[in-house]
A and B are shown apart, each in its own frame.
Chain A
């Protein structure tokens, strides 16, 4: 069975510092990988996704993530945190052979940005 593990349920950084949110997945075939952000009382918004091609993916709001097959990881980074980045972040996968495209989510990481 597939699973997604997000290391660290809470991450706190100072404004301007590097943001690193970790995501590891288990899958027997290459998956499709996603990062979503959720602000309070709002739905999920796509930050970025990896399907095929270049393993370094750039998304919105200055975020990027790198697919590392050997490490089964898809960590999310941003060079300089902004106060507006405070939110809940979810890593998710779609199994490579899925015929429905259902997303399997990690437990989420709450990002706190300190002034």
Chain B
């Protein structure tokens, strides 16, 4: 079956622009996670949704970062007034339930801020 998909795969933005990154999780998966992976680093947690509820946003680095999952399926990560330090790969993962359940990752969106 289809896995987690993300779009766009690559995004170049000028500093100060707003960007929106989309994640299509595996159908029926309850949990959805966003991670940020800087070059040469491991992924770092940004935020977590259980269905449409955003239960944990402790990893969002600033109030310029905003995520939503209005119908409990597709999710969008929005970054306002992008800065160079926002350059990274943004990974989305979904899992059937929650807790220790296996997370299935998408291919990521590589964001480059010039």
Contact = CB atoms under 8 A, between A and B. Distances in A.
B69 to A, nearest CB: 14
Contact of B43 (A32, A42, A44, A49): A44
Nearest to A41: B107
Contact of A101 (B35, B42, B100, B108): B100
**Chain B interface size, under 10 / 10 to 19 / 20 to 34 / 35 or more:** 20 to 34
Interface stretch (A60-68, A72-80, A103-111): A103-111
Contacts, number: 66
Interface string A7-21: 000000000000000
Interface residues of A, number: 25
A55 to B, nearest CB: 16
16 contacts: A41-B107, A43-B91, A43-B105, A43-B106, A44-B93, A45-B105, A49-B102, A100-B48, A100-B55, A101-B95, A101-B101, A103-B93, A103-B103, A104-B45, A105-B43, A108-B42
